Amino acid sequence: MHRFANPGQFLRLSGRVLPWLFWSGGLLTAISVAWGLLFAPADWQQGEMVRILYMHVPFAWLASAGYFSLAVCSFISLVWRHPLADLAAMEIGPVGAGLTAVCLATGSLWGKPEWGTWWVWDARLTSVFVLFLLYLGHIALVRAFDDPVRGYRAGSILALIGVINLPIVKFSVNWWNTLHQPASISLAGAPTIASSMLWPLLSSAFGFTLLFTAITVARIRAAVMERRIRSLLMARVSSSVYAADP
Amino acid sequence: MTHLAYVAAAYAIAVGMPLFFSIEVLFRVRSVRRRLAAIDTRRNRSHP
């Protein structure tokens, strides 16, 4: 595990995997968008509005999954002080915030015609909004210190405290009486959604997962190279200082 | 059909967001590669 987490090894491995991840994710996402928009059937109750769910649900899943991976990287960063975990956590933050923002926006666009309101402070919507704030807090905290290591540590602690929100997001629709409907798909039982709607939804979720994994890996690669530039420049500055010192 | 604008807006946001992130990271990687190549060239010139 540590062998693969070496920055040099990571750059080599990710360089090989990244084009496959990106192009397969992009292709599957394009197919899913066309499938959801043009070929999936309209719902007998929601009508054409059901098409929004092919975008909204994958973003909701990825927003939670993104935060979980942020917490795992933060844990590795705090326990093993691994520099790659610091960079991964820093780069997951903005992507996760974007995912959560799209989840909230598409949910509002579905809610206005279906519920008659853009927003309600019910448990599911509020906990997802808290997730968005946690992402924003992490982004701000990691970049708030002159010493990046202190920023990484503070961000990691916030990310680990925020993990408590993930089960609240997941089970809020079961624990409280919410306007948001309960899950139609669960690992424990058979889905309560027609297969003509289930497949475009799973395809969309898989496509976006590949695409955002590729985007995150590319961001971590950029961060690793930026760190290398910084250390090369620092080495040059310190060698010129020593050379000038009589 | 009356709600087409909501569906179109949701798809535009959902497709636009990964597109924005992809373009942003593409430019970032290009710029960082250029800087790294410039530093390496200068380093090789000063340490033959």
Q: Secondary structure of chain A in the HEC alphabet?
A: CCCCCCHHHHHHHHHHHHHHHHHHHHHHHHHHHHHHHHHCCCECCCEHHHHHHHHHHHHHHHHHHHHHHHHHHHHHHHHHCCHHHHHHHHHHHHHHHHHHHHHHHHHHHHHHHHHCCCCCCCHHHHHHHHHHHHHHHHHHHHCCCCCHHHHHHHHHHHHHHHCCHHHHHHHHHHHCCCCCCCCCCCCCCCCCCCHHHHHHHHHHHHHHHHHHHHHHHHHHHHHHHHHHHHHHHHHHHHHHHHHHCC
Instruction: Compute the count of residue pairs across chains A and B with CB atoms less than 8 Å apart.
Output: 87
Average pLDDT over residues A75-94: 94
Asked which of A55-59, A130-134, A165-169, A242-246 is least confident by mean pLDDT, the reply is A242-246
Residues of A in contact with B19 (CB under 8 A): none
What is the model's pLDDT at position A183? Answer: 80
Determine the distance from the C-alpha atom of residue A244 to the mean position of all C-alpha atoms in its chain, rounded to a whole number.
Answer: 48
Q: Which of A23, A28, A37, A51 to mutate to test the interface with B (most CBs of B within 10 A)?
A: A51
d(CA A108, CA A137): 23
Task: Tell me which residue of A29, A25, A160 sits closest to A85, measured CA to CA.
Answer: A160
What is the model's pLDDT at position A184? Answer: 78
Here the ipTM equals 0.89
**CB–CB contact B32 A226 (8 Å):** yes
Measured from the Cβ of residue A239, the count of other Cβ atoms closer than 10 Å reads: 11
Residues of chain A with pLDDT > 70, as a percent, come to 96
d(CA A19, CA A58): 22
A184-210 residue pLDDT tens: 777 677 777 889 999 999 999 999 999
Q: Is the pLDDT of residue A35 over 60?
A: yes
Segments making up each domain of chain A, as ranges: 18-181+200-235
For residue A47, the cross-strand partners are A43
**CB–CB contact A49 B35 (8 Å):** no
Does residue A232 belong to the interface with chain B, where contact is any CB pair within 8 Å?
yes
Q: Which amino acid is at A33?
A: V
**CB–CB contact A106 B15 (8 Å):** no
- Nearest chain B Cα distance for residue A105, angstroms: 7
H, E, C per residue of A94-138: HHHHHHHHHHHHHHHHHHHHHHCCCCCCCHHHHHHHHHHHHHHHH
Residues of A in contact with B41 (CB under 8 A): none
Confidence of residue A4 (pLDDT cuts 50, 70, 90): low
- Selected residues 98-117 of chain A with any CB under 8 Å from a CB in chain B: 98-99, 101-102, 105-106, 109-110, 112-113
- Nearest chain B Cα distance for residue A166, angstroms: 22
Q: Is the pLDDT of residue A47 over 80?
A: yes
Task: Tell me which residue of A46, A5, A59 sits closest to A207, measured CA to CA.
Answer: A59
Average pLDDT over residues A60-65: 97
Mean residue pLDDT across chain A:
92
For residue A43, the cross-strand partners are A47
d(CA A134, CA A67): 9
Residues 6+ apart with CB under 8 A from A4: A10, A13
What is the model's pLDDT at position A112? Answer: 94
What is the model's pLDDT at position A81? Answer: 87
Average pLDDT over residues A27-51: 92
* pTM greater than 0.80: yes
Positive or negative, the CA dihedral B23, B24, B29, B31 is positive
**Closest Cβ opposite residue B6 in set A99, A112, A222:** A112
